[in-house]
Chains A and B, each alone.
Chain A
């Protein structure tokens, strides 16, 4: 059978179904480098518009930092464009090992292994270190890539309610007969911007003899006094058995990820993790770029300090404007609108005002919790944030949501 009309029709129907359910995703073409000020074509074919970006994971403004760009150029010249091989055949250069050692030092772990992405790190790590005699106990809001990794692993899987330490303890007791127990969480949760209680989790893991896994994708480089991550902020550096993180957000924004932690577990990944064994690793110019990022961040905390100040300014500004935000202290700041259509309308109106921020709604977040997720960067200047606040006030006024309670917004717009 070829790709006949019936098959084509079947897929067309599925895709139309997504459109009518409001779940169809559309790309927006950016004609400039990633930064606070970008040039966007949306919808496709429309005139290019200059907007302020407040929805990138470019937390430290490294994506087009001149020194990083320069280092990537130099890496391209000295180490070439690609490796045409996976790591263990002929795809490992000196700079790959250098980067692994720098990450180990930065995160305060024992060893590190690079992966093509953090998605791949999460997809490969569980299967590499656990067996069917073990159990994985994960927070119910962990990232999709962790869920995929869990699915690929033969160990038993159970969950605990989001950040609920009593529930986690019950689960640790319930599964106490297993060979190994691994507790799995994000450090900073990407949709709500809240932070895992790693200090309490580390304590519970000690009490019940469990391993602790943390995905630090939304924390590496800026959470904690010197930006090492949630484990630094919670005072448990050295107590996390496995950290995964990405180089595609705060740490440069290009691509790549890693598993960092106990050296035997990292070695297990080197021997067994399939995305490491069967896919090319990070390309040389990107490796050179990440090395420069880590040098910059290790030499000074200026960038994470600026991000902290910007975040405080932004959170305070939104609250003063009368909007409802999720509490926290991270640069992920969700503006709660509850209703999916309202979130889409506000996003569109903000765009008209020159502010680029995206609405999130079911199934990405639970039903009735639609929002605009804003993300602050050290690449923002106060004038960017002031302009964005101005736009939020104007659009908020138009939709009459300023100073309103959750109840009032839901009564007016529905869930």
Chain B
């Protein structure tokens, strides 16, 4: 899951040759702007057939690949 999410974030948001790690700060690090979190949330929901409530989809919860994995696991049955 980590690798899938990392690849998605790289393809979607990284426009130069920055290498992401699972802990790179995405939102606080300015890689994903809070506007664009929407597509990340939708990607995760479609990919893992889950529904993440809006109040759980916070900039903090989306701030690294590892944090996103924690969030997603909460909703995957």
| Contact between chains at A174 and B36 (CB < 8 Å) | no
Q: Is A159 interfacial (CB-CB < 8 Å)?
A: yes
Q: Is the CB of A174 within 8 A of B35?
A: no
Interface residues of B in 8-52 (CB under 8 A from A): 15, 33, 35-36, 38-39, 42-43, 46
Partner of A159 from B36, B42, B43, B46 at Cβ < 8 Å: B36
Bound-complex Cα distance A361 to B15 (A): 18
A171 contacts the other chain (Cβ, under 8 Å)? yes
Say yes or no: B42 contacts A175, CB within 8 Å: yes
Shortest distance between the CB of A65 and any CB in chain B (Å): 40
- CB-defined contacts of A175 to chain B, threshold 8 Å: 42
Establish whether residues B35 and A159, one from each chain, have CB atoms under 8 Å apart when the complex forms.
yes
Query: Is A157 within 8 A of B15, CB to CB?
Result: no
A161 within 8 A of B: yes
- Find the B residue at minimum CB distance from A161: B15
Chain B's nearest CB lies how many Å from the CB of A167?
8
Complex-state Cα separation, A52 to B38, whole angstroms: 46
C-alpha gap A158/B41 in the complex (Å) = 11
Is residue A156 contacting chain B, with contact meaning CB distance below 8 A? yes
Minimum Cβ distance to chain B for residue A184 (Å): 12
The distance in angstroms between the C-alpha atoms of A115 and B59, with both chains bound, is 35
In the assembled complex, the CB of B36 is this many whole angstroms from the nearest CB of chain A, namely 5
Chain B positions within 8 Å of A156 at CB level: 38
Are A174's CB and B43's CB within 8 A?
yes
Cα–Cα, bound, A174→B46 (Å): 9
Q: Which residue of A lies closest to B30 (CB)?
A: A367
Would you call A174 and B42 a contact (CB within 8 A)?
yes
Q: How large is the interface on A (under 10, 10 to 19, 20 to 34, 35 or more residues)?
A: under 10
Contact partners of B35 in chain A: CB under 8 A: 150, 157-159
Main secondary structure on B side of the interface with A: helix
Instruction: Write out the residue numbers on chain B whose beta carbons fall within 8 Å of the beta carbon of A159.
Output: 33, 35-36, 39
Question: What mask results when residues 154 to 187 of chain A are scored 1 for a CB within 8 Å of chain B, else 0?
Answer: 0011110100000000010011000000000000
CA distance A156 to B33 in the complex (A): 14
Q: Across the interface, name the chain A residue whose C-beta is closest to B35.
A: A157
CB neighbours (8 Å) of B43 from chain A are 174
Chain B neighbourhood of A171, CB < 8 A: 39
Q: Which residues of A contact B15 (CB under 8 A)?
A: 161
Residues from chain A with Cβ under 8 Å of B39 in the complex: 158-159, 171, 174
* A20–B36 alpha-carbon span in the complex (Å): 31
Q: Mark A264-275, 1 if CB is under 8 A from B, else 0.
A: 000000000000
User: Per-position contact with B for A74-88: 1 when CB-CB < 8 Å, else 0?
Assistant: 000000000000000
Look across to chain A and name the residue whose beta carbon is closest to the beta carbon of B38. A158
Q: Is the CB of A158 within 8 A of B36?
A: yes
For residue A158, which residues in chain B have a CB less than 8 angstroms away from its CB? 35-36, 38-39, 42
Q: How far is the CB of B30 from chain A (nearest CB, A)?
A: 10
Chain B residues with CB below 8 A from A157, complex form: 35, 38
Which one of B15, B33, B43, B46 has the greatest number of beta carbons of chain A within 10 Å? B15
Shortest C-beta distance, A155 to chain B (Å), equals 10
Most buried by A among B36, B43, B46: B36
A175 to B41, CA, bound (A): 12
> Which A residue sits closest to B34, measured CB to CB?
A157
Complex formed: what's the CA distance from A175 to B46 in Å? Answer: 11
Cα–Cα distance between A171 and B15 once the two chains are bound (Å): 17
Cα distance A158–B13 in the bound complex, in angstroms: 12
Q: Measured between alpha carbons, how far is A174 from B45 in the docked complex, in Å?
A: 11
- In the assembled complex, the CB of B19 is this many whole angstroms from the nearest CB of chain A, namely 18
Chain A residues with Cβ below 8 Å from B46 are 174
Q: Within 8 Å CB of B42, what residues of A? A: 158, 174-175
State the B residues within 8 Å of A (CB).
15, 33, 35-36, 38-39, 42-43, 46
- Taking beta carbons and an 8 Å cutoff, which residues of A are in contact with B? 150, 156-159, 161, 171, 174-175
Given contacts A159-B35, A161-B15, A174-B39, 15 further A-B contacts (CB under 8 A): A150-B35, A156-B38, A157-B35, A157-B38, A158-B35, A158-B36, A158-B38, A158-B39, A159-B33, A159-B36, A159-B39, A171-B39, A174-B42, A174-B43, A174-B46
Would you list 7 pairs from A and B whose C-beta atoms are within 8 A, ordered by A residue? A157-B35, A158-B35, A159-B35, A159-B36, A159-B39, A174-B39, A174-B46
